[in-house]
Amino acid sequence: MLSRLQIRVRNRRLGRRRYALFSSLNSSVFAHSILGCVFVLLIIEMMYPQPHHGMAFDRYISHNAKLMPAALRDDALTVMLARDGTIYFGGARVANEDLPERLRLRLRSSAQHKVFLVVDQRAKFWDVSVVLDDVRRAGIWDIAFLTELQVVHK
């Protein structure tokens, strides 16, 4: 009885044998079918990733944007401001009170005293002014806004 899992199904047509419908089947059949279903669900979940991995920013599209190769450096100070007002520094979420101190700490190891600001185009001006005040409070006055260049197809 303990070696086999028996599923009892009540069937009136079977009479006395009404509880022994699946007793002849081995439990491994059910285990394999469940394992197959889980495997298919795993493949489906891997094919369609969750939509909120990473941070997506809709940058402002500018007509006269300039290339800034210094923004691609490893030690570049990049502050990102999302649409809802959350601030990211170095890929991690930061409160606006902690931003000046973190900028000062990274400024000691950074060769360039310039902050690159990536702002979502739908962000509110009040949030941008708060971030600018925090950057200035850290003692950095050289700030560059990173935008996207508008591509014109002819």
Q: Where are the domains of the chain?
A: 12-47, 61-149
Compute the CA torsion angle 106, 108, 114, 115 (nearest 10 deg).
20
Strand ranges of the sheet holding 143-145, from the earlier edge strand across to the other edge: 92-94, 87-89, 77-81, 115-119, 143-145
Q: What is the largest CA-CA distance in the chain?
A: 89
CA distances from 36 to 24, 59, 72, 98 (A): 22, 44, 46, 49
Mean pLDDT of 103-127: 89
Q: Which residue has the higher pLDDT, 126 or 63?
A: 126
The CATH architecture assigned to 61-149 reads: 2-Layer Sandwich (3.30)
| For the ranges 2-6, 50-54, 121-125, 147-151, the one whose mean pLDDT is highest | 121-125
Q: What is the mean pLDDT of the chain?
A: 79
pLDDT digits (tens, 9 = 90+) for 87-111: 999 888 999 899 999 999 998 887 7
